[in-house]
Structure 1
Amino acid sequence: MEGVPERPEEIKTTVSGSRPVAPGPDPDTLRHPLRHHGDAEAAPGLVDFAVNVRGDAPPAWLRARLAAALDDLARYPSAEHDRRAREAVARRHGREPEEVLVLAGSAEGFALLPALRPHRPVVVHPGFTEPEAALRGAGLPVGHVLTAEAEGHRLDPAAVPEEADLVVVGNPTNPTGVLHPAADLRALARPGRVLVVDEAFADAVPGEPESLAGERLPGLLVLRSLTKTWALAGLRAGYALGDPALLARLAAPRPHWPVGTLGLEAVTACSEPAAVAGAARAAAELAEHRRTQAAALATVPGVEVLPGVAPYLLLRLPAGRGAVVRERLRRNGIAVRRCDTFPGLGPDHLRVAVREPARVALLVEALAAALVGVAA
């Protein structure tokens, strides 16, 4: 690949707050399957705590809006469709339309990262694994900065190597649910570096605190998803925010008509003031459900609920018991997200989506039963 040395030196893995400890994992021996996601756990017929999508279907008003756009499907998506979507997103974040790139879900943004031709990319882990999968798939060496559970998985900006020219971090981070202070993320921005902040779940946190979506920093690229809050995982809808020149580099390898008409309509609709207000109300409800769910799960002997703010919770089970408990839950009709596919976590970590209290009661009962005879 142009601009990448033949035998690039691997950036060393760093544990946040400590010295570099080891090279990043070789893709041939990587024990974490980077492309394993929650949808692989959520088989039909199971009560789904594995996928972080709110609700079982988009709200009625959004379904009606998308249905009305069906008559346009005989025509190719137009520049006008794209312009309307970018203008709606720009108004929502106080930016200019040229600072918006509409995506087929934020995952497309991660798939495009190799187009930026970084020499020394670094991903903060535990975190969403698609950015690393895309970079490794392009033959790039990927370094890790591992946050520590003993420190609440907080990121120390000083742990990111100075030589990193692309840094990827989630906020809030998936699967830990940790919300990093905006000041810590700003400290990572500098000339010659692209800072990618994954804000896929930012709109699910009341008030969207610590978001950089409205900020203009050198090399900042913020990715947003609409699939979680609006139950659009099957449609794929999201966008990137950043300097127009950076967005142009990111978009260079895309085909013509990269986002379909329905995706563009969804981005437009979900960025309008009424939808943003609706998302804010949903975030407040989710936060209350999260508090209730965390308290209920904490009553189960052997379960530790780790701190966070996102619409999911990271659990730690007794050592060596995670795989057995997960399989027992599955046999009892409950799907949860395994976490040994995230660098920095292991088989005794589970992630569970925040759900309404009736479903949570099923999870608590099944989890207590699954732990009988296996709790340390």
Structure 2
Amino acid sequence: MPRPTDGPDRPVPGDRPPPQGRAHEPDLRHHGDAETRDEGAALTDLAVNVRAGTPPEWLRARIAASLDGLAAYPDGRAARRAVAARHGLPIECVLLTAGAAEAFVLVARGLAGRRPVVVHPQFTEPESALRDAGRPVARVLLRPEDGFRLRAGDVPADADLVVVGNPVNPTSVLHPAGVLEELARPGRTLVVDEAFMDAVPGERESLAPLVGRLPGRLVVLRSLTKTWGLAGLRVGYVLAGPEDVRRLARHQPLWAVSTPALAAAEACCAPEALQEAEAAAKRFADDRAYLAARLAALPSDRRLAPVEPAEGPFLLVWHPDAAGVRERLRDRGFAVRRGDTFPGLGGEWLRIAVRDRATTDRLVAALATL
């Protein structure tokens, strides 16, 4: 598979110049929801990695019931206890946040050192948050010819903050826990973005059980947005050592997580909810395999080559004219995520969310006509 080109000729928003030596930068503030914002089009959304048909009715009911308590200030104790119990950790190791995006800001303000490194391609908000905090971010760019797989030796030894996704958005690569453990060392903060880990059957390779047990600092970030369809509610959490939780909390405004979001966090950590999430993860795996097989069966000039093995609820695919494919799919009613806004990817990449098989069949039928 060809190596990706540099990103588009678009500066990062803001008044700071791009890092020295980079004349042009990907648009780090571009996200999948931008692909669907077209008032004149009814698009099938394959750009946003949120499980379709969510939130489920029982979760809607729990959130609706919480509205009776809106006159009181939010009380996060029950939700923190639920998250702590879900991961087998003390409550002091849990910080609730307004989505994982807020957690990146807190890390950038409260834990970042002098030599932060972000492993790319991955979700761009961690780098944006570090830059906004005035941190000089260095990048480790994983290569398509290596399957975007990380080796511990890829990260500079002097990095005192390392941010890595697992499974990775947008590549759908799941790094072995052992490789990530090798990154932990005294004097370093290792931040693992596990926003999609609950979409992996068994949550294998998660570092959440190792919080407080590795050298240096380990910070694991989780989101309830993806599996439960709560992007509009903004709810996630941090798992870290008690002192790190306190340091992060000092940079968080009072009552940062709303009462409905707290109700959702508590509900999604219940045993029945975890069983439902596991069943959804297994469906994702089956539907992802079906999507990859259907794409592989297309004629060579229309084939979208996926990065495999994939473990997230999406596929990263390569095509020499990915930008043109994206526009022609849009004309046929499908929104897919452009890849060139991720550092390390170029205009030949697209990300496609995993949906049910009927939606995949419609997508493949559209691709066959391009």
TM-score where L is the length of structure 2: 0.90
Does the CA-based 8 Å contact 2:112-2:161 persist in structure 1? no
Does the CA-based 8 Å contact 1:41-1:336 persist in structure 2? yes
Whole-angstrom CA distance in 2 between matches of 1:360 and 1:37: 22
Does the CA-based 8 Å contact 1:123-1:167 persist in structure 2? yes
What is the Cα deviation at residue 28 of structure 1? Answer: 8.0
Quick one: structure 1 residues 335 and 83, their matched pair in 2 at CA, closer, same or farther if it must change by over 3 Å? same
Unaligned segments of structure 2, at least 5 residues: 1-17
Q: Which residues of 2 match residues 201-216 of structure 1 at below 5 A?
A: 201-215=196-210, 216=212
Whole-angstrom CA distance in 2 between matches of 1:27 and 1:36: 22
The count of corresponding residues between Structure 1 and Structure 2 is 342
Q: Which residues of 2 match residues 341-352 of structure 1 at below 5 A?
A: 341-352=341-352
Whole-angstrom CA distance in 2 between matches of 1:155 and 1:30: 25
Partner SS for 1:228 = helix
What is the letter of the counterpart of residue 149 of structure 1? Answer: P
Aligned mate of 1:139, from 134, 147, 153? 134
Residue 353 of structure 2 corresponds to 353
Residue 305 of structure 1 corresponds to 306
Question: For residues 208-255 of structure 1, what are the alpha-carbon distances to aligned partners after superposition, in whole Å with 9 as ceiling and x for unaligned?
Answer: 110011113230000000000000000011100010101111221211
Partner SS for 2:368 = helix
Residue 189 of structure 1 corresponds to 184
Answering whether residue 130 of structure 2 is matched by residue 128 of structure 1, we say: no
Q: Which residues of 2 match residues 1-376 of structure 1 at below 5 A?
A: 25-26=19-20, 29-43=23-37, 45-78=42-75, 82-115=76-109, 116-215=111-210, 216=212, 217=214, 218-300=216-298, 301=300, 302-307=303-308, 308-318=310-320, 321-370=321-370
Whole-angstrom CA distance in 2 between matches of 1:73 and 1:164: 44
Moved over 3 A (4+): 24-30
Question: For residues 161-210 of structure 1, what are the alpha-carbon distances to aligned partners after superposition, in whole Å with 9 as ceiling and x for unaligned?
Answer: 11111000000011000000101000101111110000000000111110
After alignment, is 327-336 or 298-307 more displaced? Answer: 298-307
Whole-angstrom CA distance in 2 between matches of 1:166 and 1:283: 30
What is the letter of the counterpart of residue 238 of structure 1? Answer: G
Identity of aligned residues (%): 56
After alignment, is 36-45 or 96-105 more displaced? Answer: 36-45
Question: For residues 230-283 of structure 1, what are the alpha-carbon distances to aligned partners after superposition, in whole Å with 9 as ceiling and x for unaligned?
Answer: 000000111000101011112212111111101111111101111011100110
Whole-angstrom CA distance in 2 between matches of 1:255 and 1:164: 29
What is the letter of the counterpart of residue 312 of structure 2? Answer: A
Question: For residues 147-169 of structure 1, what are the alpha-carbon distances to aligned partners after superposition, in whole Å with 9 as ceiling and x for unaligned?
Answer: 11111111010111111110000
Q: In angstroms, what is the RMSD of aligned CA positions?
A: 1.4
What is the Cα deviation at residue 56 of structure 1? Answer: 3.6
TM-score where L is the length of structure 1: 0.89
What is the Cα deviation at residue 26 of structure 1? Answer: 4.1
Does the CA-based 8 Å contact 1:27-1:136 persist in structure 2? no
Partner SS for 2:72 = coil
Does the CA-based 8 Å contact 1:293-1:357 persist in structure 2? yes
What is the letter of the counterpart of residue 345 of structure 1? Answer: L
Quick one: structure 1 residues 83 and 49, their matched pair in 2 at CA, closer, same or farther if it must change by over 3 Å? same
